[in-house]
A = this chain, B = another copy of it.
Amino acid sequence: MAGNTIGKLFTVTTFGESHGLALGCIVDGCPPGIELSETDIQADLNRRKPGTSRYTTQRREPDQVKIMSGVFEGKTTGTPIGMIIENTDQKSKDYSNIKDIYRPGHADYTYDHKYGFRDYRGGGRSSARETAMRVAAGAIAKKYLASQGIVVRGYLEQMGDIQIEQFDWDEVQNNPFFCPDSSKVEAMENLINSLRKEGNSIGARISVEATGVMPGLGEPVFDRLDADLAHSLMSINAVKGVEIGAGFESVSQKGTEHRDEITPEGFLSNNAGGILGGISTGQTIKACIVLKPTSSLLVPGQTIDRQGNPAEVVTKGRHDPCVGIRATPIAEAMMAITLMDHLMRHRAQNGDVNAGIPVIPPEV
């Protein structure tokens, strides 16, 4: 399998390059009878869309999704949902400067070794533009999950050295960074502005969580819910790490501190991030990812060309100084797709076997 599909029961298969005719995907396995329209999907696409603020790439794409199949009279039919986003801003610019050069930190060199050559226009298939279809597919998953009481949402936790200190979900949509701490927004604006001047970039840390997940979702061994989340989140461009719950802090925790003790009134903590033994506990599912700083920089860098000669690279053009900024809706989409898949897996094998098992409230 060439790996352009994710999920086992709720599957998403994408196609499309940065500068091809269109991006597209097929969402297969969606339950029938769900109300769905293009506007449901467009809302999330707009959150990811480039060119909406001066802090992200200036490529302007309407990113208008078209549903080609699988919806009839406003409802999903249970058959595959085909979706298309046409590429309209395929600037027919001159790529001769990067065509024969391996940009450091990019997939140019690895694509050439994998395929023998590559579509070099705008990064081709390795462009973050590919994530648009993930967001479109994720919007379907999010809509269905919401009907089951499950809400998936994310936020920016850190940009460079700027870490959030206050938390307000309502603030997340009030700034272009998905930052829940309004007191940090100005510092972030300043950081982006100075990076843009410098021709440089910076990393970011994103949190994403799901509330309302019933206990019992996940598989016991390889397809643990946390392992599948790690897979889907790490598959996002530029992600270099994934944590569940307490994550890397667990290394210096003692067992008495880490284990989440239980009372009839609820769990006393959530170091587990809502997953034990690969299966959901009913607490909030908590994951965290880090995105590297983009390697498309105005600061010149050393590299080689396709003939092996030393070369210098400078990436002009429309680039995000912090690719993590637009990653929040993508991370939400990936978590939603994974949860949707496990919800359906649970129904297939286990149905309603847990009648009579007590339900522990998420948290005291």
Contacts and interface: CB of A to CB of B under 8 A. Distances in A.
A118 interface: yes
B17 A69 contact: yes
Contacts of A24: 24, 26, 68-69, 82, 84
A102 B294 CA distance: 45
Contact of A80 (B13, B66, B254, B344): B13
A258 B9 contact: no
A354 B221 CA distance: 34
A201 B254 contact: yes
Interface string A280-294: 111000000011111
Contacts of A259: 104-105, 293, 295, 297, 301
Given A21-B69, A113-B354, A254-B202, A1 B345 contact: yes
B301 A256 contact: yes
A328 interface: no
Contacts of A16: 68-69, 80, 82
Contacts of A223: 1-4, 235
A281 B240 contact: no
B22 A68 contact: yes
Nearest to A235: B227
A307 B301 CA distance: 60
Interface string A251-264: 11111111111111
Interface in A333-354: 344-351, 353-354
Contacts of A116: 32-33, 350, 353-355, 357
A193 to B, nearest CB: 15
**Most chain B Cβ neighbours within 10 Å, of A21, A23, A220, A241:** A220
A241 to B, nearest CB: 4
Contacts of A45: none
Given A110-B277, A113-B282, 9 more contacts: A2-B345, A24-B82, A31-B351, A110-B215, A114-B350, A222-B232, A231-B231, A234-B242, A253-B292
Interface stretch (A46-54, A167-175, A265-273): A265-273
Contacts of A231: 222, 227-228, 230-231, 234
B216 A113 contact: yes
B9 A277 contact: no
